[in-house]
């Protein structure tokens, strides 16, 4: 049976897990993790090397030991998480962590079920980072998208779609391109232009292959696997719908409506959304180049 | 069939109309639906009289008022079934 913590679980806190801290930057968003023990700090430094930062964090989360378990595991073995309001804050929990973030504040609490398990704690940190990045982004004219982001000749090409659509395949087939991510890409509106940024989230490809930075957004492509390559411009409403369907972590209706919708609509309007039918070879780049040539 | 006046939009559905088509996002499930022009007209007028809606649709498109009324009623049932609209007293 699922065990939902109450607000006291985040008020009567034990000592943090350790004295260490690490700051990670995703474009101009910076999140700091405090309360790390030395071993965990070393592991986190290794995993997130391209994203280590000394910027002033916009959000700091502290790690504490938690309860034995929160949610029951999913029957299919997949990651299971829930988000809901709790005492004026947002609660995010999974089988082995519970997190609380009061929106509008710069601090969060992450309680981990198995602090002695370094891998489980790193997973909890990463899931927390995904969640809080999505929230912080929306307050700064940005949003996260389930996508593979690739840099070619200094421009970002973003391929999005649900699990199994082919994001990692597209990334793996793009030799010579810089990798922003094969899982989640941050899209930002800066000075009237849309940009794409690398994220530290673990996908199928190696973290060390990533090209940290921010690049002008050249195109948004909804992935559809097919026997041959083809590009099709999607009408505005369909383009927005497909983009929204690939935006994770926004379960609060007011936030989705007030912040995400206008941003995503503007991104679609300026960058356009195309459907890319692709076969499992790198020939799709020729379709994209051909479309750019033909204008 | 209840009149559209008996329905309200589900607050758990975020929506936006772009170039005459409404995009609906079912926040809990993350599902997204795009409505055509007529569907968008009905969606934007949820809570109003279905007879007036049918009259407007009939004057805009090549259908009779009776046919438009049947279509509006069927579409409202569809929206109700998907959870996009709720009975107003709920």
CB contact under 8 A, B27 and A265: no
CB contact under 8 A, B23 and A235: no
On the CB side of A54, CA atoms within 13 Å amount to: 0
* pLDDT band (50, 70, 90) for residue A118: very high
Chain B contacts to A (CB-CB under 8 A): 11-16, 18-19, 21-23, 25, 27-28, 30-34
Count the Cβ atoms, other than its own, within 10 Å of residue A262: 12
Q: Hey, where are the domains in chain B? A: 11-83
- Residues 128-167 of chain A whose Cβ lies under 8 A from any Cβ of chain B: none
Q: Which of B13, B23, B31 would best serve as a mutation to test chain A binding (most A beta carbons within 10 A)?
A: B23
**ipTM value of the model?**
0.74
Instruction: Summarize pLDDT for A31-61 with one digit per residue, the tens.
Output: 999 999 999 999 999 999 989 999 999 999 9
Instruction: Summarize pLDDT for A218-237 with one digit per residue, the tens.
Output: 999 999 999 889 999 998 99
H/E segment holding residue A175? none
What is the pLDDT, as a whole number, of residue A150? Answer: 95
* pLDDT band (50, 70, 90) for residue A282: confident
Q: What is the pTM of this model?
A: 0.87
CB contact under 8 A, B21 and A252: no
Measured between CB atoms, which of A240, A245, A262 is closest to B30? A245
Count the Cβ atoms, other than its own, within 10 Å of residue B60: 12
What is the pLDDT, as a whole number, of residue A202? Answer: 81
CA distance B30 to B85: 16
What is the pLDDT, as a whole number, of residue B2? Answer: 54
CA distance A144 to A31: 15
Residues of chain A contacting B28 with CB distance shorter than 8 Å: 251
Residue among A60, A72, A62 nearest A10 (CA): A62
What average pLDDT does the segment A258-281 reach? Answer: 92
Mean pLDDT (chain A) is 91
First and final CA of chain B: distance in angstroms? Answer: 17
Q: Chain B residue closest to A258 (CA)?
A: B14
What is the pLDDT, as a whole number, of residue A269? Answer: 92
CB contact under 8 A, A235 and B25: no
**Per-block mean pLDDT, blocks of 10 residues, chain B (90 long):** 76 89 84 91 93 93 93 94 85
Q: Which of B16, B21, B29, B31 would best serve as a mutation to test chain A binding (most A beta carbons within 10 A)?
A: B16
Instruction: Summarize pLDDT for A174-193 with one digit per residue, the tens.
Output: 988 999 998 899 999 999 99
A122 touching chain B per CB within 8 A: no
A183 touching chain B per CB within 8 A: no
Lowest mean pLDDT across A6-15, A203-212, B79-88? A203-212
Q: Which of A241, A247, A254, A273 would best serve as a mutation to test chain B binding (most B beta carbons within 10 A)?
A: A241
């Amino acid at each position: 049976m699922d065990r939902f913590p109450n607000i006291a679980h985040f008020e009567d806190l034990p000592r943090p897990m350790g004295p260490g801290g690490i700051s990670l930057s995703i474009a101009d968003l910076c999140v700091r993790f405090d309360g790390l023990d030395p071993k965990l700090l070393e592991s986190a430094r290794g995993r997130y090397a391209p994203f280590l930062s000394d910027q002033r964090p916009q959000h700091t989360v502290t790690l504490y030991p938690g309860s034995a378990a929160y949610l029951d595991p999913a029957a299919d073995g997949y990651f299971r998480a829930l988000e809901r309001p709790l005492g004026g804050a947002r609660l995010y929990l999974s089988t082995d962590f519970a997190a609380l973030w009061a929106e509008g504040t710069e601090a969060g609490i992450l309680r981990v079920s198995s602090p002695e398990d370094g891998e489980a704690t790193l997973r909890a940190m990463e899931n927390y980072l995904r969640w809080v990045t999505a929230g912080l982004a929306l307050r700064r004219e940005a949003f996260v998208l389930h996508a593979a982001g690739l840099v070619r000749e200094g421009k970002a090409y973003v391929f999005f779609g649900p699990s199994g659509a082919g994001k990692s395949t597209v990334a793996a087939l793009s030799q010579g391109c810089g990798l922003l991510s094969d899982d989640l890409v941050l899209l930002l509106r800066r000075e009237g232009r849309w940009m794409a940024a690398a994220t530290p989230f673990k996908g199928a490809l190696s973290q060390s292959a990533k090209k940290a930075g921010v690049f002008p957004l050249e195109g948004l492509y909804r992935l559809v696997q097919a026997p041959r390559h083809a590009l099709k411009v999607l009408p505005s409403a369909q383009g927005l719908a497909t983009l929204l369907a690939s935006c994770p972590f926004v379960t609060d209706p007011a936030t989705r409506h007030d912040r995400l919708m206008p941003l995503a609509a503007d991104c679609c309007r300026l960058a356009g959304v195309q459907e890319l039918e692709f076969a499992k070879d790198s020939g799709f780049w020729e379709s994209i180049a051909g479309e750019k040539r033909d204008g | 069939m209840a009149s559209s006046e008996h329905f309200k939009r589900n607050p758990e559905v975020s929506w936006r109309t772009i170039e005459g088509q409404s995009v609906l996002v079912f926040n809990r499930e993350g599902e997204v639906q795009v409505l055509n022009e007529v569907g968008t007209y009905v969606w934007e007028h949820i809570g109003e009289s279905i007879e007036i809606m049918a009259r407007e649709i009939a004057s805009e498109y090549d259908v009779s008022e009776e046919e438009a009324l049947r279509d509006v009623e069927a579409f409202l049932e569809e929206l109700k079934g998907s959870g996009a609209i709720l009975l107003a007293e709920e």
